[in-house]
Chain A
Amino acid sequence: MNVATPSLADLAGQAKALVRPKPPAPYGMLAELTHRCPLQCPYCSNPVELDRRNVELDTATWLRVFEEAAKLGVLQVHLSGGEPTARRDLEAMIRHCVEVGLYTNLITAGVGVTAERLQSLADAGVDHVQLSFQGADAAMTAHVSNMKDAFERKLAVAREVRRLGLPLTVNAVVHRANIHQIPDFLELAQRLGARRIEIAHAQYYGWALRNRAALMPTREQVFKALEIVDEARVRLDGILTIDAVVPDYYAKYPKPCMNGWGRQSLNVTPSGKVLPCHAAETIPGLDFWNVAEHSLSEIWLDSPAFNAFRGTDWMPELCQSCERKEKDWGGCRCQAMAIAGDASATDPACHKSPLHAHLLALAEEDAAAGVDQYDYRRFTVPETSQ
């Protein structure tokens, strides 16, 4: 047995852990089953350094993770990617989730998914399907996803999902090139029989940060979009639920990112790292534990990365003294990192941040830059045969 004398730092850490209040259980888990995807959207939420197939967790490990998640208090699992249907063991995972009581939400790009596959996913017990649309027509979808016939394939998948009686959500990420299509996205969602649509303004981390000059809408576009969504919410009440991910570069207050770091949800990467949010790896120096070495419960309660920005203790004075501190939760740590170069700074999207004017200037400059070439999301070096 290996007996080590604890250092003073260890003891101090343990003492701190003893007085730390136990965080509430998470409600949701985003399971990024793979980074493989047939589409190349320039705002992909996956990291710029994508996990390759040979480092993906195996089936048995994922099943254990789902079981641990259910025990920890997770109620809903979002099966995502990349493209989750690239995993041939997806049905086994869904069946297991159903067994342990987890609600399953399949987040798919809907290309390369046959009617037979959808039937088999429905038989496995999937609860809900969220289908992404990069454009409200074929040309825009092809331009943004960099795949020629993606739109037709998505329409076919949507029809099949509804034929199977599964609830459908349309997800539309909006940015400069397609933000004018919001009314068309709303029409499309209704035509496809979706009860819910997400109008998600691109969030600038990873790939989207890299492509910001080609994606950033103008202030006029953003405010017009907000108006259209507000009006549609009233008009479509009881017909279509509209959830929006707000654009924060032009905002006064920051978004309450993840409703607080390590507060409600967690994210497991294809290789098993557990993150407080999908962009957390853009913050250098955080120690992310892996499900291969720790239980999900240990990671949620004790991992340094989850405790780094949990609660309000970490906040700078500007946030500490703010009456919105338990409303905005300090905004977004990844954005503070990207813009202020300091993950524990006030989110520059907040009007109180000394960098707020700088953020606005960046947005206006990018929106006016006229760049229309995307650096499409892809594995940086061609994947070797496996």
Chain B
Amino acid sequence: MKRNYNLLIIAACLTIILSACSKFFDKPPQGQITQEEAFKDEAGLVSFTNGIYTYLGDGDFMGGRVQVLSDILADELKGDKFTGDYAEIYGRRNSIFGATRDAMYLKGYKIINAANLVLENLSIANTQKDNLRGQALFFRGMTHFELVRLFAQPWGYSPDNSQYGIPLRLKSGQELLQRATVKQVYDQVIADLKAADSLLAPDANSGKFYTASKWIAEAYLAKVYFQMNDFANAYKYADQVIKSGKFQLDADYTSRYSVGLTKEAILRIANEVNHFQPGTELIGNWRSDKAVPTCNFTDAYYNNAVSRVNDKRKIWYSNTLQAGYNVLTKYNMDYTTWSCLLPILQK
């Protein structure tokens, strides 16, 4: 009898373990949420879209990397002190490794995939459906454009632009993709940006332009057409942006990078002081008041930049702040007080 009782205990324990399994063995990622929770309503999609802006302004992408690597590929910088990936890019000696470049590429595709996720989950949106679709298409279009400019031969390299471009990601997932041709990429970019232009509102954040408006879609279209040497269309879209009357040139250039003061930005990434700072790689590479910055100019570029008497931008250059180096001064501020903004595009 006693023995039976003990067997009962064993049986009970086994049953508890096995029957409680499904719940006990189901622990979603802690501190994180699942896709069902993330995209349960429109607010989730809006938050997710907000996140994409921080990707855009991240140091790895438009927060400095894209600009700095473009600068390094141009002729304005002194390259003798570059080391590592910068030296390779400066000397056109890109190897199959290179975390600096790879992280930029990856961040670009993170934006594209996030945009695709928004597009794929639009069924839960209601009042903001068009706006969200427009933003997602803008992200996808502009990012494919920024990447194809850096990772493929340019538009016009072959008569029909059939040279390899970049993989064209139009849906999320793990599918293996070949590189699309440059023409296919540009066609898609224009289609995405034009659709965004028609979907987005003319005013974003009551004139602060912290999120995408139709004007940034058009400004990018102008950039794309300019890159394609289609100056008529480039003029058309640039002109529409200028004539919108939403943007003005700043009178005082020193205020241009301080919180909320500029009226030039067509899209700018908001700075959440102490939490999210866009543009870290701009400060990281150019700041010249604490130490010799990574990036500094050739003498020829510097002399040219400061030679024009009426050029207000002269105040941004110095060859005395760090003896022996031609440096930029406009990013000489702390991340916390700097400002505001990452001007994704300026008038």
Partners in one complex: no
Q: Which residues of B contact A (CB under 8 A)?
A: none
Q: Which residues of A contact B (CB under 8 A)?
A: none
